[in-house]
Structure 1
């Protein structure tokens, strides 16, 4: 317990952590700055060492296993909120600096995503029961950042429709345009673009998502305008007026960024351009947290903008436009977390209690990463030709007004 106490003393400054260790002894850490008062109990002596060595992974696993519990009204959200406002102190501890150095050394290996591995990684998350996702997503099953024009009053459904309309406006679609969508989810964006007159080729490596997407396109009467294909992005061929990628780049892996942008460039017609929507970080390049990497998104990585722009420079693409959405994903995931909590018993019936705790830990952690951490979302327009995108940005607003 001595090593863990040393770590927590340096880590927790804002708010306070009241910890009952596995022997029943009580400890209090922090209290020097504003923040929540969180009460935690450990039920396994092995956690005294595990939490010191790798707190980000083992705290989540212990919560999943029931060997880390909360007392006096505290919750996993409170615990992770306390973590999020003290994160700088954790990273400054010598043990964590050494651990992060090891992660950086293994970064490219952890994110190696050749086609077969990429497909397996995607299916790990996206081939879960669609009924699970229906518990907390909007009716269109949009599993990416929404756009909240009025954060306090917009429903999740309204915010996701806002997002789809804004993407269509940025694409400046004309009837008959050919659009390639890389990573098509459950089909909402492909359906939106087809409604705007485009002929869409939408690719995905998740059979479950493709099955639902095809059903939804048929229900919308758009099966003749959308071709859903089970295909890795590297295998797609042809030329398209627009290429769209929403929430896909996070799964590419840093060693494949050049391949990703080179493929987008190769798919575009001479006058075409691409739209890329991706989670990013406002800090220098880093690594994927161990809990997220092991349980939620194996092979995934949130890039720094410096890594993104270095890749587009090497490939020779123009960055025609960029928009940064800073808090929109916080509001989105807040809706998801609250909806999941409200229907938690249904999730437990689909899976089990351990799965529910894993999902709670995941949703809380990513929500707070957008509130108190370095995460944001960026949207890029890219082209090979400098004037493929109108040189006055007002065209997006004008298209929205006409919609």
Structure 2
């Protein structure tokens, strides 16, 4: 997780048409003894004061944690440090996928790492980030064609896979969920909160940017709104249309396979739940200008966004990470400051309200991971192997750790467009 700060950038990331997905291309650990030695020194320094227990095969122990602290078992130290030296943060995740290290509770283990993410690499070495950190491939840029490919690589994995760990509403975004709470109830509460922020009621002409599997469209149509919802995922569009029809709401909801930049018309309200993370830094102004263009004067908008600290956004916005390579190509989390600045600079809207529930997202992810693990047999029966299992386990635990530590948060922003006289 640390050596990417000083090691040469790994190559790759783009997926050629017809090529196997990235997780199926994971090969043996590279042989990079010099880089591995340097990565090991940095790793030992980084974990020296972390409240974790790290057990290396052979009996050595690292970390400052005592009995009961999160445990990391480095099963194959040579492979682990070679991957870490070769690809840094990407190698850390890949080594979990390969089984080079394990943990009985990976989210608890990763939380202390996330809490001190900015401090894991010694300060003097952080100055080398721009020369050694990997950069996102040009092919992952969110042009209209690139966005379709990026969305396809994640959301078109399989509707059946997502159905095995989401709740009955098929809502794939964070909820204000209390520990041990009912996930479905929390998701419905979240959808209602976003619709309330946008002032959606009977007769509202609503645009939803990012359909998901139709849960918000159904909820809005049940209020009497006329909904246009857009997605770039063919599988999501098909299942969303089926779910909307099953609810008897097809006459109120128009599901389109369409980029947000290509939408035409004017709407009384716009809602966009966790879609801004897929826009990319270059296109954030375009996204906010689209909201402004499509919203009538006096209309309201609500967006839900996962956020990271602004200083970390500035430091890492050009980096290429394990999440980019394996989960969300082309993605980037904004900061609260970034969102507020774009509303001021690129719209005629004003922020009327905002609310956060990062702790609820941590519990949402915990329950997703619990369901994913419990239902893995059914997912495997769909034709997926152990590499995908460990990839998704790491992704969900890694994300949960971000919210548990406070490094990540999630916000709903309510905006109003000034009525022009």
TM-score, reference length from structure 1: 0.86
Name the residue aligned to 1:364: 397
CA change 1:310–1:53 in 2 (3 A) is farther
| Residues 102 and 259 of structure 1, relative CA distance in 2, 3 Å threshold | farther
User: Partners in 2 of 1:327 and 1:155 — Cα distance?
Assistant: 15
Taking only aligned residues, the RMSD between alpha carbons, in angstroms, comes to 2.6
Matches of 1:200 and 1:375, distance apart in 2: 31
In structure 1, the partner of 2:256 is: 229
Change (3 A) 1:57 1:201: same
How far does the alpha carbon of each residue in 1:261-318 deviate from its partner, in whole angstroms, 9 at most, with x for none? Answer: 1011010111211111111113422336611110000001111122222222221332
Aligned length: 379
Q: Indicate conservation of the 8 Å contact 1:15/1:34, yes or no.
A: no
Structure-2 change in CA distance of 1:77 and 1:146 (3 Å): closer
Q: Give 1:347 shift.
A: 2.1
Aligned to 2:14: none
1:277 and 1:379 in contact (8 A); partners too = yes
Shift of 1:109: 5.4
Correspondence list, 1:47-126, <5 A:
47-52=80-85, 54-66=87-99, 68-70=100-102, 74-92=104-122, 94-95=124-125, 98-99=128-129, 102-103=132-133, 106=135, 112-126=141-155
- Check whether the contact 1:175–1:197 (CA below 8 A) recurs between aligned residues: yes
List per-residue Cα deviations over 1:171-197 (Å, max 9, x = no partner). 223322211101110000001001101
Offset from partner CA, 1:45-92 (integer Å, 9 cap, x none): 3542431454421121122123x133xx74434542453344343243
Does the CA-based 8 Å contact 2:176-2:359 persist in structure 1? no
Q: Cα gap change, 1:37/1:280 in structure 2, threshold over 3 Å: closer, same or farther?
A: closer
The more displaced of 212-221 and 109-118 is: 109-118
Instruction: Give yes or no for contact 1:14–1:33 (8 Å, CA) kept in 2.
Output: no
From 336, 340, 348, the equivalent of 1:305 is 336
Contact 1:146–1:163 at 8 Å: present in 2 too?
A: yes
Gaps of 5+ in 1: 389-403
Larger strand proportion, structure 1 or 2?
1
Q: Tell me whether 1:18 sits opposite 2:39 in the alignment.
A: no
Say if 1:94 and 1:33 are closer, same or farther in 2 by CA, change over 3 A. Answer: farther
- 2:199 touches 2:300 (CA, 8 Å); kept in 1? no
Pair 1:268 & 2:298 matched: no
Using the TM superposition, give the Cα deviation of residue 93 of structure 1 relative to its aligned residue in structure 2, in angstroms: 5.7
Of 247, 256, 262, the match for 1:220: 247
Q: How does 1:223-302 map to 2 (within 5 A)?
A: 223-284=250-311, 285=313, 286-287=316-317, 290-302=321-333
Counterpart of 1:382 in structure 2 is: 415
Structure 1's 111 and 259: CA in aligned 2 closer, same or farther, altered over 3 A?
Answer: farther
- 8 Å CA contact 2:324–2:330 kept in 1: the answer is yes
- Where 1:218 maps in the other structure, the secondary structure is helix
Separation in 2, partners of 1:37, 1:334: 16
Task: Tell me how far apart the structure 2 counterparts of residues 322 and 199 of structure 1 sit (CA, whole Å).
Answer: 25
What TM-score do the two structures reach when normalised by structure 2? Answer: 0.83
8 Å contact from structure 1 (residues 320, 386) kept in 2: no
Pair 75,332 (structure 1): closer, same or farther in 2 beyond 3 Å:
closer
Question: 2:233 is matched with which residue?
Answer: 206
Structure 2 alignment gaps of length 5 or more: 1-35
Separation (CA, whole Å) in 2 of partners of 1:387 and 1:381: 19
How far off is 1:324 after superposition? 2.1
